[in-house]
Amino acid sequence: MADNEKNFIKIDSERFELIDEIDNIPVVDSFVKKNKIGRGSGEARLYVGSQRMRNFDDFFNYFHNKGFFLKKDFEDYLSDAKFEYEQQEQKYQEDISSDWEHYHSQLQNLSNREFFTLERAIGDQDLDRYYVRSYDDIFREYFRSIMLPVISFVSILKIKNDDGIIFFLFRPSLSYSFNPYYHPAKERQVEEAIEQKRLPEREKEKLVKARIGQGAYRQKLLEESSECIITRVNDERILMASHIKPWSVSNDTEKIDHNNGLVLTPTYDKLFDQGFITFENDGSIIISPYISPLNIKKLNLTQGKKYTFPRTNKREEYLAYHRDHIFKK
């Protein structure tokens, strides 16, 4: 394979070739050490998939290489999960509201890269199910302790440095629907605040419909821009009126301001909502390092490519907010 056909990522200015990846492994209740929804003590092994789907021994090089976490990934995960720790939309067996500060404090003692040894864990039943584990504290204790079950995921990147040494980068993430901007409790709080205001019913309806990109908000946005800014698809049935500054943190004017919107097809709408892509004021796309080069290629995205959308001073202000607060750097 020619060098220009390979995929590379940078970590702390060091270049790695991305060889392969396993995306979005669900973190189940049985794996977490605390934060449990069901009963039981949990098991220190992570289920990664079925052997019928792929050869995981080959993926892991028969465990001749090390895994590692990035401190920054833990920081981002805890930042996203803070609201759920406090509000606890899921029904945990114990109150976890005080745990976030403890885990965040422990985080300060971690190095930028935390390495651990990795091995296969074979169960007594269903040998087709492939598990991995580590006896190192960063995996067995810290990682398993901070993760929230069901709404958390792990991706594993198989990477190689310039010396030809292979590593496995484990990247935790939280479902975007539970982050501080889209958390169900957050949206309920905003909806309750709207209800308590002495507004005409029609005004309340406008605010609520804008949350899901409907009503007058959507209509004004489509009148201004009738096609997806990335794909140029112009079928209104599949176009999304995406908020730039999330509805839950916008004031009443911003919630229904069409300048606070971009027209996107569903895949790119979700990427934008989750902060995996954003835009400069001139339309240049910025792609998050949390999207692997393999998936960037599948999504037909190119870093820095310019797209056209109606530019207004207000929209530029909203985009600045998105770059500063939503985009995953």
**pTM, full prediction:** 0.84
238 & 158 share domain: no
Average pLDDT over residues 4-28: 88
Q: Is residue 183 part of a domain?
A: no
Encode pLDDT of 66-91 as tens digits.
999 999 999 999 999 999 999 999 99
Q: Is residue 195 part of a domain?
A: no
Please indicate, yes or no, whether residues 70 and 129 belong to a single structural domain of this protein: yes
171: which residues sit within 8 A by CB, 6+ positions away? 69, 70, 73, 154, 155, 156, 157, 290
- Cα–Cα distance for residue pair 326/83, rounded to 1 Å: 15
Same domain, 139 and 204: no
| Residue-wise DSSP of 147-175 | PPSSSEEEEEEEEEETTS-EEEEEEEEE-
Q: What is the pLDDT of residue 133?
A: 94
- pLDDT tens, position by position, 48-63: 998 888 899 999 987 8
Instruction: Give yes or no: residues 174 and 271 share one domain.
Output: no
Digit-coded pLDDT (tens) for 105-140: 999 999 999 999 999 988 666 778 899 999 999 999
Asked whether residue 36 falls in the same domain as residue 167, the answer is: yes
Domain co-membership, 118 together with 234? no
Is 194 part of a structural domain of the chain? no
What is the span of the domain harbouring residue 276? Answer: 200-326
Cβ atoms of 242 and 319 within 8 Å: the answer is no
**Domain count along the chain:** 2
- 96-100, 128-132, 185-189: least confident range: 185-189
What mean pLDDT, rounded, does the chain reach? 90
Question: Does 63 share its domain with 167?
Answer: yes
Residue 184 lies in a domain: no
With 90 as the cut, is the pLDDT of residue 269 above it? yes
Q: Report the share of the chain in percent with pLDDT over 90.
A: 65
**C-alpha separations of 91 from 37, 186, 187 in Å:** 6, 17, 18
The answer to whether residues 159 and 206 belong to one domain is no
What pLDDT, on a 0 to 100 scale, did the predictor assign at position 154?
A: 96
Any domain includes 99? yes
Asked whether residue 243 falls in the same domain as residue 295, the answer is: yes
Give the pLDDT score at 1.
45
| Residue at 190 is within a domain | no
**Residues 39-48: pLDDT tens digits?**
666 688 999 9
**Residues 233, 231: Cα–Cα separation, whole Å:** 5
Q: Is residue 193 part of a domain?
A: no
Q: Are 122 and 244 in a shared domain? A: no
Please name which of 266, 276, 269, 270 lies closest in space to residue 303, comparing C-alpha atoms.
276
Position 108: which residue type? Answer: Q
Structure confidence by residue, pLDDT tens digits, 237-248:
899 988 999 988
116 in the same domain as 67 = yes
Task: Answer with the one of 178, 211, 241 that is the final residue of a domain.
Answer: 178
Domain boundary among 143, 178, 213: 178
Is 188 part of any domain? no
Residues 228 and 171 in one domain: no
